[in-house]
Chains A and B, each alone.
Chain A
């Protein structure tokens, strides 16, 4: 069995050398950056709007008990059944229980990262249900039996040719290179599914305490259809998605769209406050909301990193992350990839098993700069490293830093070390980039600068 870090390194070795992948992702994300910058410029004051969004989420998260209770009470008052799932297994059991009790057979899903988090599709398929992802990108990766590549753009690692080939093989469609035609193939394949599905499952972007509503952001209209046609609707939502007031969306909808996709506002932002009410002509007869903890409360208990729960899953930090761009979404091996994934996964799935994600960062801070709710992302990576080293320090690494401190604090020893480096330079050159080279991690792809005749300090001494 390999460990998560070995998987990560092996996968990273492959993807970083894959120039096709590099080109595809760089091009896609350059397009995103151009669009985002244009939309940011339409704000009168983007930085202050970020601060307002961060303050709103701070209020929500730091009074989560009150707002969550209010949300559930308001939801229940209008006939929604609210369920509380402590962990992934409980959430799966609750959802499977609802499906069983309805005698359902087919399920239509709109995009939900929480469903990925609890491996819901696997569980439903194992229980014998037909599950269809309706978001185009999710539909594509589902056909490939892959997890989504990116939390917002699930199929961004694929070209139209990849998708054409996939559709020909899996759907028997005619060959085409036109994105429009490919989209229409999916549209036709999915239309019947909406109409015949017994249960619709969605995620949620926000949960509004004041009015007892969830809000779903999407561009395609697939969530709208998922919430309109099946007789039973289920929404799985993380407890951190709460916002205090309905009007807060006036701030969050544009922030989410701008930061996440470079749009002014996403195509459909829809608030659902219950099943079909008296006098309404359609919509589900039953509505269930499943609130998911799954160790979010452990992150909540860490005041230093509590702001990671402000995350609105816009994907902005992934889009600007040079690590993400070079290793790709699947290499992380986690539901939530990119900077925010590297921050929260150690909390959600164990620090020692996932600390390598916090290590695998140049700490450049592009993520923190991009985050619309001002999560201190790259500093949290540092904090995870600190916590990991404190919990289970590496013997050799600690020894190396102690030795380093011992030498650097003694000018005589430090001078000697420099001299030794200079004297052994010819030898170093001889073994450079061979298995004997202790600096091979560096010299495998990079030259080392030549050692100068005189160090700065020697020059300084001489001059004095």
Chain B
């Protein structure tokens, strides 16, 4: 099928490897990948801050450009939730209400697309390391994604998956929250990092680069040897 890839702005500019990995995996599975240049952001920052008209300025064009897509696959549970769950609310009672509703079922977070939609869990990946998985909250609670990333990780050769205490507890990123309330965001992140450290894992892996940016930022500042990596980058390893 033709997969329209949605690469969120921060993945594009800071974590290109995530997008590249996704393209490689999807093409290896025999799908045609398209990636419209004009699409860069889902509009979540303005939406989450309460500025809905401004969010629609960003989201409106996205909605138009995606309306003919067969499926839309996103590297982030958070942006995925924005398109799938929050667009219908953001555009309720506007001219684009129907478009938002029509788009929703076509949107997939990457791990769920592989494991649930395509039914593929073994991608022939190899990654010999001890890994713990952090559930991004939007993927977990808005999209209900819990087992898909784990089913994928279990099939990675050489990879040892260990669960951390409070894997489902928020890492503290929360978008603009992380800058508006940095002390709370940081404290939450410290608790998260401590939980991950207890497992003795080499890597904290997630399906959301935004969580990982926050967690990696803390780990580097603390001088911790633990590294962070997006799930797609592991699945693309050979």
Contact = CB atoms under 8 A, between A and B. Distances in A.
A binds B: yes
Interface of A: 9, 12-13, 16-17, 22, 26, 322-323, 325-327, 359-366, 368-369, 382, 384-390, 393, 397-398, 401-402, 404-405, 408-409, 411, 414, 418, 421, 439, 441-442, 444-449, 451-452, 454-461
Contacts of A402: 54, 57
Contact of B173 (A12, A22, A362, A448): A362
B191 A26 contact: yes
Contacts of B12: 418, 455-457
B217 A446 contact: yes
A455 B37 CA distance: 12
8 contacts: A325-B191, A365-B140, A382-B50, A384-B50, A401-B54, A414-B9, A456-B15, A460-B19
Contacts of A454: 16
A449 B217 contact: yes
A421 B12 CA distance: 13
A409 B168 contact: no
Contact of B174 (A363, A368, A460): A363
B170 A16 contact: no
Contact of B51 (A365, A389, A445, A447): A389
Given A366-B170, A390-B50, A409-B57, A401 B177 contact: no
A362 B170 contact: yes
Contacts of B17: 452
Interface string B27-43: 00000000101101101
Interface string B41-82: 101011111111011011001000000000000000000000
B99 interface: no
B218 interface: yes
A421 B13 contact: yes
Given A327-B184, A360-B177, A446-B221, 15 more contacts: A9-B181, A12-B183, A13-B183, A360-B181, A362-B177, A389-B49, A404-B41, A408-B9, A441-B182, A442-B178, A445-B186, A451-B14, A452-B13, A456-B12, A459-B20
A402 B56 CA distance: 10
A16 B48 contact: no
B229 interface: no
Given A362-B170, A362-B173, A456-B19, A322 B191 contact: yes
Interface string B114-149: 000000000000000000000001101110000000
Nearest to A405: B57
A386 B192 CA distance: 29
8 interchain residue pairs of minimum CB distance: A362-B174, A446-B217, A389-B50, A385-B50, A364-B170, A365-B141, A401-B54, A364-B137
Contact of B16 (A16, A364, A456): A456
Contacts of A456: 7, 11-13, 15-16, 18-20
Interface in B216-234: 216-218, 220-221
A40 B217 CA distance: 37
Given A363-B137, A364-B141, A457-B37, A447 B220 contact: yes
Nearest to A18: B187
A449 B216 contact: yes
Contact of B48 (A322, A366, A385): A385
Interface string B147-186: 0000000000000000000001110111101111111111
A420 B179 CA distance: 22
Nearest to A26: B191
Contacts of B187: 16-17, 22, 326
Contacts of A448: 217
B2 to A, nearest CB: 15
A326 B188 contact: yes
Nearest to B59: A405
Given A449-B213, A452-B14, A388 B178 contact: no
Nearest to A367: B141
Contact of A411 (B18, B37, B180): B37
A366 B142 CA distance: 11
A446 B54 contact: no
Contact of A359 (B55, B170, B177, B189): B177
A440 B38 CA distance: 30
Given A445-B218, A456-B19, A409 B58 contact: yes
Contacts of A368: 141
A168 to B, nearest CB: 32
A22 B183 CA distance: 13
Contact of A446 (B9, B137, B186): B186
A325 B188 CA distance: 9
Residue among A447, A449, A456, A460 with the most chain B CB within 10 A?
A456
Contacts of B61: 409
Given A456-B20, A459-B16, A359 B141 contact: no
B101 interface: no
A328 to B, nearest CB: 11
Nearest to B43: A405
A320 to B, nearest CB: 8
B55 A369 contact: no
A390 B48 CA distance: 13
Contacts of B54: 398, 401-402, 404-405
A456 B61 CA distance: 20
B141 to A, nearest CB: 4
B141 A12 contact: no
Nearest to A359: B180
